[in-house]
């Protein structure tokens, strides 16, 4: 997928909560971009607002996706023969 496709993929879902299935198709760079965006959303939101709850949920989901991505790549580097696949 080229850069244009990657950008349009991130623009599709501007509000709401990103699920594990949504995040599975994002590259690590895209995940970091989403994380930065949700950090800004969190800073700009007011306490107890729906926007703040959405930003917190998205930060948690993106963090989890990033951790799983690193775990999968570290697994591949170690050359383990177990059947480990990234997923949720």
Site of tokens 């709401």: 16
What is the rounded CA–CA span in Å between residue 17 and residue 33? 15
Tokens of 74: 């570290």
Helix, strand, or coil (residue 47): coil
Instruction: List pLDDT tens digits, range 33-55.
Output: 999 999 999 999 999 999 999 99
Q: Which residue ranges make up each domain of the chain?
A: 21-78
pTM above 0.75, yes or no: no
pLDDT less than 50: residues of the chain:
1-12, 88
Residues 6+ apart with CB under 8 A from 20: 61, 64, 65, 87, 88
Helix, strand, or coil (residue 12): helix
């Amino acid at each position: 997928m080229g850069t244009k496709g990657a950008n349009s993929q991130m623009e599709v879902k501007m509000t709401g909560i990103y699920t594990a299935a949504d995040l599975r198709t994002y590259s690590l760079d895209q995940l970091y971009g989403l994380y930065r965006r949700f950090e800004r959303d969190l800073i700009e939101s007011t306490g107890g607002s729906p926007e703040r709850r959405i930003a917190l949920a998205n930060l948690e989901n993106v963090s989890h996706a990033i951790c799983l991505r690193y775990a999968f790549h570290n697994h591949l580097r170690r050359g383990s023969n177990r059947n480990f696949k990234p997923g949720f």
